[in-house]
Amino acid sequence: MHNETVTLGSEDAIVARGTALLASVRQRPPIALSSGWWQERLIEWASADADFRTKLLRFVDVLPALRSPTAVGEHVRQYFRDDRRAAIRLGASAAQRSVFRPVVSRVVRTGVFAMAERFIGAADAEEVLPALRSLLDRGTAYTVDLLGEATLSDAEADAYARRYLDLIRVLAAIHIHGDPLRQANVSVKLSALTPHFEPAAPEKTWLAVAPRLLPILDAAIAAGVFVNIDMEQYRYRDLVHEIFGAALRADPYRTYPHFGIVVQAYLRDAPTAVARVADLARTRGVPITVRLVKGAYWDEEVAIADQDCREAPVFAEKAATDASFERCTEALLGHFPNLRPAFGTHNARSIAQAMVRSEAAGVPREAVEFQMLFGMAESLREAVHGAGYRTRVYVPTGELIPGMAYLVRRLLENTSNESWLLQRDDDTPPDVLLRPPTPSAEAPLEQRAFTNATPAQFHEGAVREAMQSALAAAKSGRGARHPLLIGGRAVTSAMWDEVHPAGEPAAVLGFVAQAAASHVQDAVRAARAAFPAWRDAPPSARAAVLQNAASLLSAKRFDFAAAMIMESGKPWREADGDVTEAIDCLNYYALEAERLGTGGSVGSSFGESNRYSYEARGVAVAIAPWNFPLAIITGMASAALAAGCSVILKPAEQSPLVASLLAQLLLQAGAPAGAVSYVPGPGETVGKALVEHPDVDVVAFTGSNAVGLEILAAASIVRPGQRNVKRVVLEMGGKNAIIVDDDADIDQAVEGVVASAFGYAGQKCSACSRVIVVGSAFRQFRSRLAAAVESLVVGPAEDPFTQVPAVISAEARDRIQRAIADGLEMGKLVARSSTPEGPGWFVAPHVFEGVAVSSPLAREEIFGPVLLLFEAKTFAEALAIAIDVPFALTGGVFSRHPQHIELAMREFRVGNLYINRKITGAVVGRQPFGGMAMSGAGDKAGGPDYVLNFMQPRTITENTMRRGFAPAG
């Protein structure tokens, strides 16, 4: 068999080498398991049964967080009671009886911990020494990796850095200078060294990482220790390279030959990573080791790309990754001796090709090494060793709880159908195992009727530059005048309002004409005039205008985002999310126009024809809040236009500029003059006049509860000349809670709560303002939350490193400060962050506890970065607290208890409930958004019922019988 891509060595030589390796493996017993029969069975069952595999992985994941035998018993029962295997069912039912629980708990714990021991070296640096010594005694080198929790605070980053320093110190005991086998070797994850590893801000991330990384490198140099930088998710890849490059180009690191970095072959652009490291090695003139691996985050990369509606950065097929591994092998060898190759793989074919190709390239054996994971493919490693190559084992070290993510990844790998390890015992002939990887042609991305806009990939330099130049343009365009738009024409006014940048209140961003009463009359008249033709236009024509607008907006996405960063103080990602949501609304409602254009289905009978169709209601006004200055007004306006209504835009006083850009864009996209008007001005006058106007048929409002209810009352009064009963669509505020169950993943819960509570300084209707923690999770959650909040980066919105920007206005700042004063008086401060000096209405994020659940502070919307923490004894109690407020907009649960999740799904009655994720960031078409109770009238934006708000159904029945003759069909 010949593979045309082979340029080094020959295919025959690879197969021959692989066959020899496999023969040597097959003489040895399969992997020695540390604890017996059942472990093998579990892995076997999990490999054969996808459902059991999910249950097992989830169970292994939650187990260390279970703090009592009752909790272990309860979870065993929950996860495995329906299993078809008798032995498992027996265990599950034993777990139900309290007398057996301690036994079940012990057996299960021992089992899972033993499983963990197979893959994790030891709990800490001191303890790992015996394992390393025994490896060295067998002629095997090692590298130690530190497992840990996600780094959520500066204190945790400091602790991580100390652990690395400690590790280097401890390893000195077994380190021998100049001996590649016995040289101490550590693997470092850069994301562990800061709570804010931000690909959008490489320079600031470097400043955050360097004070922790450089002392580690200094210690390594002083002791002669090798340091390898590990790779994690793709979004971090370039940032890791930049930090690695910045360090390695500086003295004294520039000349140290014992640094390495990982390249992941599963990435489609893996060769660019090899080239990048080669450049670095060449410019510094000192070699760098590259550990070539396949990559360990495949599921996550694929899932996140799918959610973002973009192509995954990883190959879909294992064979494609294997082929890429071989191409990268050649690339790597092509850069020898600048790059020193280390191959991290458990695949006999991949190993054989690396051996043959390195030999063909003339790379000496001692300059090559093979790396494998602790506890995996031991006999294969011995076979490689026997073939005269140095082997190195990657030894993860750390506590079991934080190590769970690692353990789950390993189990995933060991139980996957494509795992080579599973093929060890069966009779697969060597020539099948050793075939050159031949990926099939990749299926194109699945075509869906509706696709969400992809978030800007700020880890790409070109994307960051596009945003920076849009920001520069927005700054240089300051002072522009924005007239009204009525009947397709720009209209000036006697009154102009100054708009100030949210982050720089003293400056003037632009001037906005303020509508007078006569402008409101003109706009409604123009809308009424444009209405019949727009209503009667084919749905496809209306859809085309909206799709056109979506394309125009996509082309100007950074200009719109920059406008929001300036006007509303939205940080980069939040502003980008606002734009993508607006694009989604335009595209989604365009499809809805066509769908609803075909009418609804009703019954029919012989001799009778029934038609059920939808038709636009008339003139709509969109009254919008400032906090999603583009997405919300676009959503309301585009749904109205999709239905066939004319629409008048009334933006919030704080964010009229972005709305002006939108109105122009809709007209440019082909909306008829008059079908879109723009009349900014105060709510109390302009908004009120629009609501009360007899010729306005639909009022779509998003904003506060007080104003929403006032509008509802005003719209219910029929005024002279009014033809239609007004339809009011209300989206209002929230007082949203997240429950953290006692078995929650604390890393995930803290991260989710912080993002939900403090993203855009808590100025989201969906923001979390209460967190209720159940039982034994409370202490740990509280301390990690406090540290995470204290580490938040508060700063200007235009700085991509900023996590929490200034709030929208002086008035907002004062109102939030009053709430903080109440919190200090009624409760106890848990944590607060610091705030920067300088322009902008900064309010530090605050967390309080001990506030009475019945107090106004715990029941009313604050709309700022203030979070209340509560403790509950049981999940049921937490749920009762969560729903005992007048609002019901969003809610969240972090839990791994199936019954609690079910209970929440049933009883946690809010418009949008999120399980095990943050509670902000609903996506059009996937998470239709809107509240219940005092949060809204139940209309879901971005879902299949929304456009109907702007339409009314008509039923037409025709008797088709004439003189007793009924046509067929």
Q: Which residues bind ligand NAD (CB under 6 A)?
A: 623-628, 632, 650, 652-653, 683-684, 687-688, 691, 702-704, 707, 710-711, 731-734, 765, 861, 863, 889, 931, 935-936
Say how far apart CA 309 and CA 482 lie, in whole Å.
35
- The CB-of-493 to ligand NAD minimum distance in angstroms stands at 16
Q: Which amino acid, residue 294?
A: K
Of 653 and 790, which has the nearer Cβ to ligand NAD? 653
When the beta carbons of 391 and 756 are compared against ligand NAD, the nearer one is 756
Strand 828-832 to 846-849 pairing: antiparallel
Smallest separation, CB 687 to ligand NAD (Å): 2
Distance between CA atoms of residues 715 and 855, nearest Å: 32
Give the shortest CB-739-to-ligand NAD separation in angstroms: 21
> Please, what is the minimum distance in Å from the beta carbon of residue 803 to ligand NAD?
20
Minimum Å gap between C-beta 798 and ligand NAD is 22
Query: Exposed e or buried b for every residue in 715-734, given b needs 16+ CB within 10 A?
Result: beeeeeeeeeebbbbbbbbb
* Distance separating alpha carbons of residues 669 and 634, to the nearest angstrom: 13
Give the distance from CA 174 to its chain's centroid: 42
Smallest separation (angstroms) from ligand NAD to the CB of 626: 5
Phi, psi of 39 (to 5 degrees): -65, -45
Side by side, the strands of the sheet bearing 912-915 are: 828-832, 846-849, 866-872, 768-774, 736-740, 890-894, 912-915
- Judged by beta carbon, residue 9 or residue 571, the one nearer ligand NAD is 571
Closest distance to ligand NAD from the beta carbon of 563 (Å): 17
The one-character DSSP state at 303 is H
Which is nearer to ligand NAD, 164 or 626 (by Cβ)? Answer: 626
Cα separation, 458 vs 465, whole angstroms? 9
Three-state secondary structure readout of 498-528? EECCCCCCCCCCEEEECCCHHHHHHHHHHHH
Contact 376, 386 (CB under 8 A): no
C-beta neighbour count of 317 within 10 angstroms: 17
Which one-letter DSSP state was computed for residue 794?
Answer: B
Task: Give just the sign of the alpha carbon dihedral 900, 901, 902, 904.
Answer: positive
Is the CB of 415 or the CB of 920 nearer to ligand NAD?
920
**CA-CA distance, 326 to 277, in Å (whole number)?**
18
Distance CA 712, CA 139 (A): 79
What are the residue numbers of the active site? 731, 765
| Nearby residues of 654 by Cβ (< 8 Å), 6 or more positions away | 502, 567, 568, 626, 629, 808, 809
Nearer to ligand NAD, 192 or 888 (CB): 888
Q: What angle do CA 46, 917, 763 make, to 5 degrees?
A: 175
Report, in Å, the least distance between residue 452 CB and ligand NAD.
18
Q: How far is the CB of 690 from ligand NAD (least distance, A)?
A: 7
Burial zone of 443 (CB within 10 Å; 0-12 exposed, 13-18 middle, 19+ buried): exposed
H or E segment and range at residue 104 = helix 101-119
Task: CB nearer to ligand NAD: give 247 or 632.
Answer: 632
State both tokens at 663: 């109105």
Q: Nearer Cβ to ligand NAD, position 88 or 624?
A: 624
Of the candidates 522, 615, 460, 484, which has an alpha carbon nearest to the alpha carbon of residue 948? 615
Which residue minimizes CB distance to ligand NAD? Answer: 683
| Closest CB to ligand NAD among residues 687, 823 | 687
Whole-number Å distance between alpha carbons of 688 and 713? 11
Q: From the CB of 941, what's the least distance to ligand NAD, in Å?
A: 7
Cβ distance to ligand NAD smaller for residue 145 or 731: 731
Using DSSP bridges, classify how beta strands 369-373 and 390-397 pair: parallel, antiparallel or unpaired: parallel
